[in-house]
Amino acid sequence: MGGSSNGTGGRSSGSSDILGGTASHAGGASSTAGTSPQTGGVSASGGSSGIGGSASGGIAPATGGNSTTPSNTGLGTGGLAPVGGASASGGSMPTGGNAATGGGVATSGGTLGSGGAPAATGGAPTGGSATSAGASAIGGTSAATGGAATGGAATGGAATGGAATGGAATGGAATGGAATGGAATGGAATGGASPTGGMAATGGATVALVASSVSAADAHTCAVVANGQVVCWGRGGLGALGTGNTANSYTPIPVAGIGSSSSNQALTVGAGVDLSCALLSDKTVQCWGYNNHGQLGIGQAGDRLAPTPVSNLSNVSALSVGGSHACAVVSGSVRCWGYNYYGQLGNSSNVDASAPVDVSGISTAVSVTAGSAHTCALLANDTAKCWGSNIHGELGDGSTNNASVPITVPNFGSNPTNRIMQLSAGNSDTCAVMGESSVQCWGAYYALGYNSTVDKYAPGPVYSLWNAVKVSVGNGFACAILNDNTAECWGNNSFGRLGIGTTTPHPLASALLSTTGSGSLSGVSTMSAGNEHACATNQTGQVYCWGSNVDGELGTGNTTSSSLPVLVSGF
């Protein structure tokens, strides 16, 4: 769960896994400049354990587990840089008048989706137009080109194909169309913001959202969409969805303010346990949600229901969100903030930090990945350093001793076959894609991929997995994207988090199936493993999720879990 880390100099960072983000050198997420991810890029997001501990294979409280405190030990997820698609900025009609030239201002967060044309001059509706609060929501429609509707508006409300609060009116985009919260007879209802699976429309033609990356967290998911905007869905408790309230949402809804100008377009987004963060185009970071350990990095106590700037942090090139902490790369150094019980902030301390602190002894980091309670950095010489919890050997140094300062993971970087190309930290595991496209993992046995019930304290190969380009580690499971844009997953499979059509554990890598269960899911471009669910984007910008859906984290409009990938509403 966590934000992606973007590598410098064209080296993509892997996204941060919620429980863990990905760090990568090549072929991965976008650079700080916001370029689109390379084919095969994965947003790593390791699954998080829930508040107070984790599921089997994770960092459990008390016996053998990390935290016996009630703090969150979930992980972050990562997203990659957005593909800069078009989105309508604004698109609502002004209250009580004709459609304004260029359209009115949309609701909080702006109108999402590509193709949401602003209201054109002329074509005023009889009886008034949609109120300013009734702009389209996620990908919601603005007034149709040519006025409130082609040929004029219907009496007393949004015309056919015209703009409506909560979605397009008759012939518009939203499922549920012009209903309560949408365009009502006599005018659009005030505050009718987001239709189920809302889409942009011009003159009534639906246009799906297009995602460049996705980040699966503990119980919510976020994605970067057109024009650097961010949408989230799932559990909204404590403000994790960034909408200004704490309501859950079973379909994507816009994060307030992100993407409203050229300086605050999201390059990547990462999600943790009830928190989310975005790396913006001005190289700053904004976070929102739960803040009990200072994990928002704002230098103050108190949760935030909408994005808030991280204190004293600029020139960021990579970001990763863990369970209850986050880290950023700044000019080769690493800065972290939040929960620090296990030393996961890397500053030779175990004291929480509500603002960024410097990680000791790192000056050549190209990316960073934050897990549940440990963190790793990928260095310019293709080696790695890790710090924090080591209860299951997730630091890879051959021991189970926690470390509050970075320690070198041995035996990496000396020749092409053991160069680390990309790195992902999960709940209690870490995995790396090597120079020859194999994957090596270490830590708790569930996610090691070699059919054992013994933890591994040093790196070892995932059996029968070759041609990997990205890996993402979650809570007791992991997934890898292959060079043919298919994917394989392995490990704990409760709720069907492996996407293989069953809920039976699978210690060896198995193909991620299509939505029908026939053949592999194709065209996979980014992937993020969360706590008990995972998500992927394909090459056309659609988002698929699978696994637990208790809080609507699959984004399908319901709470039905799925052992096969399902298409997220609106994409």
pLDDT digits (tens, 9 = 90+) for 265-297: 999 999 999 999 999 999 999 999 999 999 999
**Which residues are bridge partners to 460 per DSSP?**
441
Task: Let me know whether 151 and 227 are in one domain.
Answer: no
Question: Mean pLDDT over residues 345-372, rounded?
Answer: 98
Confidence at residue 199, expressed as pLDDT on a 0 to 100 scale: 40
pLDDT at 359 over 60: yes
pLDDT for 472 equals 98
Q: What is the mean pLDDT of residues 49-75?
A: 33
Domain membership flag for residue 65 = yes
The whole-number pLDDT of residue 562 equals 98
pLDDT reported for residue 310: 98
CA distances (Å), 223 to each of 90, 197, 268, 555, 568, in order? Answer: 20, 14, 8, 11, 11
Give dist(CA 565, CA 292) in Å, integer.
33
Answer whether residue 107 shows pLDDT above 50.
Answer: no
Give the residue, 29 or 454, on which the prediction is more confident. 454
Last residue of a domain, one of 208, 228, 253: 208
Return the amino acid letter for 298: I
Q: Is residue 9 part of a domain?
A: no
544-566 pLDDT, tens per residue? 999 999 999 999 999 999 999 99
With respect to residue 2, please indicate whether it lies within any of the assigned structural domains.
no
Last residue of a domain, one of 146, 175, 208: 208
Kindly state the average pLDDT of the residues 354-380: 98
Mean pLDDT of 83-112: 31
Q: What is the pTM of this model?
A: 0.71
User: How many CA atoms lie within 13 Å of 106's alpha carbon, on the beta-carbon side?
Assistant: 38
pLDDT at 127 over 70: no
- Position 4 in a domain: no
Average pLDDT over residues 214-223: 97
Provide φ and ψ at 446, rounded to 5°. -55, -40
Query: Is the domain of 94 the same as that of 191?
Result: yes
Kindly indicate the confidence band of residue 205, based on its pLDDT and cuts at 50, 70 and 90: low
Residue 248 shares a structural domain with residue 284: yes
Q: What is the mean pLDDT of the chain?
A: 74
Q: Which of 160, 182, 208 is the last residue of a domain?
A: 208
Q: Do 550 and 422 lie in a common domain? A: yes
Model confidence at 312: pLDDT above 60: yes
Q: Is residue 460 included in any domain, yes or no?
A: yes
pLDDT at 534 over 90: yes
Residues 424 and 311 in one domain: yes
Q: Coil, helix or strand for 215?
A: strand
The pLDDT assigned to 162 comes to: 32
Burial tier of 567 (Cβ tally within 10 Å: 0-12, 13-18, 19+): middle
Higher pLDDT: 157 or 210? It is 210
Same domain, 432 and 561: yes
pLDDT band at 389 (very low <50, low <70, confident <90, very high): very high
Kindly tell me if the per-residue pLDDT of 447 is higher than 90. Answer: yes
Examine the domain organization and report whether 517 and 537 are in the same domain.
yes
Please report the pLDDT score of residue 415 as a whole number.
Answer: 81
- Print the domain residue range for 186: 86-208
Greater model confidence, 260 or 168: 260
* CATH number for the domain that contains residue 235: 2.130.10.30
Is the model's pLDDT at 166 over the cut of 50? Answer: no
30 and 101 belong to one structural domain:
no
> What local confidence, expressed as pLDDT, does residue 413 receive?
84
Q: Which two tokens stand for residue 135?
A: 């702009």
Mean pLDDT of 407-417: 88
Between 77 and 567, the higher pLDDT residue: 567
Which 3 state secondary structure label does DSSP give 227?
helix
Residue 109 phi/psi, 5-degree rounding, is 95, -15
Share of the chain above pLDDT 90, in %: 60
C-alpha distances (whole Å) from 455 to each of 50, 86, 399, 400, 451 are 21, 47, 11, 10, 11
pLDDT at 305 over 80: yes
CA 563 to chain centre: 20
Label the pairing between strands 183-184 and 187-188. Answer: antiparallel
One domain for residues 309 and 370 = yes
pLDDT at 384 over 60: yes
| Rounded Cα distance, 462 and 454, in Å | 14
Residue 350 shares a structural domain with residue 219: yes
**Residue 5: inside a domain, yes or no?**
no
Asked whether residue 72 falls in the same domain as residue 105, the answer is no
Within a domain: 50: yes
Structure tokens at 49: 């354990």
Bridge partners for 45 per DSSP? 21
Asked if the structure places residue 14 within a domain, the reply is: no
Q: What is the pLDDT of residues 248-267, one digit of tens each?
A: 999 999 999 999 888 899 99
Work out how many domains the chain is built from and give that number: 2
Same domain, 108 and 73: no
